[in-house]
């Protein structure tokens, strides 16, 4: 999507299409996790965001709407220019204007949101859109539940990939027969 003037507030993304409201894309949940203590600097990552594609102009308004629904009224959004194309400096959203800034110095797998007059900032790990469902879900959970994660997004994603799959116990044949009400000797 072409943004004509990066200095003017601009409605980026598909927010003006019917069927989109409050952080949901036609009923599909926005994939984001956020720590309860997000923004206080107590963790490596304050959460994670798993966009569905590499189209920040389309994904950002939905992320901001979902964070707003969770009580985080985003005022500023920072992203890596190595990972995302340049956005307008101001983006109109449902409850105001968000200032966006692209930086070459940022890690491509991290975005930052600022709120509460700039006093709170959350760093979100960006889970690549092509990540498989199990690894993506694990990364979302890791970033909002585990303390002491390494600063490297690649190591966090590798940890999510390496986490063993949950083991489901299969009852023995005799246990299954007993649970059905009959047993053979």
Structure tokens at 102: 């692209």
Flag whether 81 is in a domain.
yes
Q: Per-residue pLDDT tens for 61-114?
A: 899 989 998 889 999 999 999 999 999 999 988 878 999 999 999 999 999 999
Q: Per-residue pLDDT tens for 56-73?
A: 988 998 999 899 988 899
Record the pTM: 0.72
pLDDT of 13 reads 37
Flag whether 38 is in a domain.
yes
The total domain count for the chain is 1
Instruction: Give the residue numbers spanning the domain of 48.
Output: 20-166
Gap between the Cα atoms of 143 and 110, Å rounded: 12
Gap between the Cα atoms of 87 and 183, Å rounded: 68
Contact at 8 Å (CB) between 79 and 111?
Answer: yes
DSSP for residue 50: -
Flag whether 65 is in a domain.
yes
Quote the Cα angle for 93-59-130, to 5°: 170
Gap between the Cα atoms of 178 and 172, Å rounded: 10
Locus of tokens 């409050």:
22
């Amino acid at each position: 999507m072409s943004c004509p003037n990066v200095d003017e507030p601009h409605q980026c993304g598909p927010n003006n299409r019917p069927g989109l409201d409050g952080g949901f894309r036609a009923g599909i949940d926005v994939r984001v996790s956020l720590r309860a203590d997000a923004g206080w600097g107590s963790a490596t990552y304050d959460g994670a965001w798993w966009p569905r594609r590499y189209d920040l102009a389309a994904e950002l308004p939905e992320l901001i709407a979902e964070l707003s629904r969770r009580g985080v009224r985003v005022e500023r959004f920072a992203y890596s220019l190595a990972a995302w194309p340049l956005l307008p400096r101001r983006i109109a959203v449902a409850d105001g204007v968000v200032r966006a800034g692209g930086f070459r110095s940022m890690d491509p797998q991290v975005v930052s949101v600022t709120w509460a007059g700039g006093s709170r900032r959350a760093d979100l790990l960006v889970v690549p859109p092509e990540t498989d469902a199990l690894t993506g879900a694990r990364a979302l959970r890791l970033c909002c539940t585990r303390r002491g994660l390494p600063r490297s997004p690649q190591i966090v994603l590798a940890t999510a990939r390496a986490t063993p799959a949950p083991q489901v116990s299969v009852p023995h044949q005799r246990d299954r027969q007993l649970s059905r009400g009959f047993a053979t000797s």
